[in-house]
Amino acid sequence: MQQLKGRDFIVTQEWDMDELRAVLDLARAMKADRFSSSWTRLLEFRTFLMFFYNPSVRTRQSFEAAATELGGHAQFLEPKAMRLKTAKTAGETVEDAAKVMSRYAVGLGIRILEDKVPYYGAGDELLREYAKWATIPVINMADDKFHPCQGMADIMGWEEWLGDLKGKNFLLTWGQGALARSWCSVQEALLVASRFGMNVTLAYPEGYDLDPEVIRWTEGNCKANGAEFKITHDPEEGYHGAHIVYSRNWVSPDAYKDGVFDKQGEIEKARKYTGWTTTAERMALTDNAIFTHPMPVDRGSEVTDEVASGPRSAIYDIAENRLHVQKAVMALTMSDVDNEYLLDLARQTLEGKAE
């Protein structure tokens, strides 16, 4: 595996499997021995900049905690408090901002979702523009296309519950609700599930297609792993034999009108669809599946309380894992410590805990 120091983390599909495995191995060791001196000085006195176009709960808390536990500091930034150039206002260009930020910090995280951009993909384009000019790694803290840290937390949690995922059955199903959610988390879930060898079923009402490029990647990943990928518009079919059920609302491809995210229109459209809630009765059709969700959960719409808070719910484990995978990504891409040395420490830690 090549050194990851300085690498951007924008979508998991752009990292090799051995690189993703390195993140998971280090994350597991960091979780097993959370405050070990092996980790607490990796970013000592260093700053990680967090640039939030959109608010968050888990993302800000987990990244701030990650920086602190690595011995560094996370600085919270908002565009309204910065003089940045936009299509309508004068200000600092992305090139200038990225180059200056690179002089101050060891990494830059950006969070920009669907309601802060004029069209689908513009948020991801902005991250890549910062990555073009920055000399420090850019970490995607969720854009309008991808959420790689969530995807890695998902995989880590699923493996904790089920072990080797190859050959297991993964159901990603649209969930009813009125939150007009973006595609980033569900698209990342498709990518990681298929990269790690799972059979993937995607279920949604007609008219809620996801990004065609992500679908092509998912198909290719499944083919490379000898796994199956299928799409259904039946709200119940995919539950049969599933090992993991992921139920979440997402917007339609028609969410933008004249350069504006039509949130209210998407909410009204989603309300027309019923029968897309994950229930205990549907979970009983599975192969003792776990329930997974990136949170926040729209309880009573996407899933019932009985399932979300039930004994086979992995949602809190996965939320916790955001902290650990982010620490691992930050350590591997921002620390001066050699990656192989860190992974040796991880192996020693995990072997010691297993004894």
pLDDT tier at 91, thresholds 50, 70, 90 = confident
pLDDT of residue 87: 57
Domains and CATH numbers, the chain: 12-146+322-354 (3.40.50.1370), 148-317 (3.40.50.1370)
pLDDT of residue 73: 98
- Judge contact between 123 and 114, C-beta under 8 A: yes
- Judge contact between 171 and 203, C-beta under 8 A: yes
CA 74 to each of CA 37, 105, 169, 327: distance values in angstroms, whole numbers, following the listed order: 19, 9, 38, 12
pLDDT of residue 85: 55
In angstroms, rounded to a whole number, what is the distance separating the alpha carbons of residues 204 and 171? 11
pLDDT higher than threshold 80 for residue 83: no
Q: Which residue has the tokens 């060791």?
A: 29
For the chain, how big is the Rg over CA atoms in Å?
20
pLDDT higher than threshold 80 for residue 88: no
Q: Whose CA is closest to 334, among 1, 150, 70?
A: 70
- DSSP codes joined into one string, 134-150: -SS-EEES--SS--HHH
- Judge contact between 211 and 187, C-beta under 8 A: yes
What digits encode the pLDDT tens for the residues 293-345?
999 999 999 999 999 999 999 999 999 999 999 999 999 999 999 999 999 99
- Judge contact between 238 and 170, C-beta under 8 A: no
The arithmetic mean of pLDDT across residues 178-187, rounded, is: 93
Q: What is the mean pLDDT of the chain?
A: 95
The arithmetic mean of pLDDT across residues 176-204, rounded, is: 96
- DSSP codes joined into one string, 259-272: TEE-HHHHHHHHTT
Q: What is the pTM of this model?
A: 0.96
